[in-house]
Amino acid sequence: MQPRQLSLKGRALRLLGMREHSRAELQRKLAPHEQEPGELQRVLDDLQAKDFISDERAAESVLHRRSTRLGAGRIRQELQAKGISAELVAASLASLKATELERAREVWRKKFGEPPQDAAQRARQARFLVSRGFSGEVVARVLRLDD
């Protein structure tokens, strides 16, 4: 017995049931399953008209899930990879700027907990924070010993 093939709409709804997706993300994931030209656009237009697809909600979801562990740089990359518009990315990241230092300090505290003892440890801690998407200025403030 052969498994039943899901329609494009069924596949889209299954993906949306797992988490929020941007329109561009759904388009990329569903394109290989499109049977006839234009079918995917019609399905996505229908889902967007019914408010099942929202780039704003997808951006909020990424911020909510990732902002406690990542800096604005990495979150910007994730939002851009999901096909979110530059204006929406900028608006979403504006809310993170105020808490960037506190979030970086918390990430640093969970990973290291104590100030670096030498230059090698300091460089290791700085690389860790930069790889998490925190800016060089924020990293310098977190690792500053006189704070």
Residue 1 has pLDDT above 70, yes or no: no
3-state secondary structure 53-86: CCHHHHHHHHHHHHCCCCCHHHHHHHHHHCCCCH
pLDDT tens digits along 36-52: 899 999 999 999 999 99
Residues of the chain with CATH 1.10.10: 100-143
CA distance 44 to 48: 6
Match domain 100-143 to its CATH number in 3.40.1000, 1.10.1740, 3.40.50, 1.10.10.
Answer: 1.10.10
pLDDT tens digits along 109-146: 999 989 999 999 999 999 999 999 999 999 999 998 54
Query: For the whole model, what pTM was predicted?
Result: 0.84
How does 96-107 read in b/e, with b if 16+ C-beta sit within 10 Å?
beeebbebbbeb
Residues 82, 52, 11, 76, Cα dihedral to 10°: 10
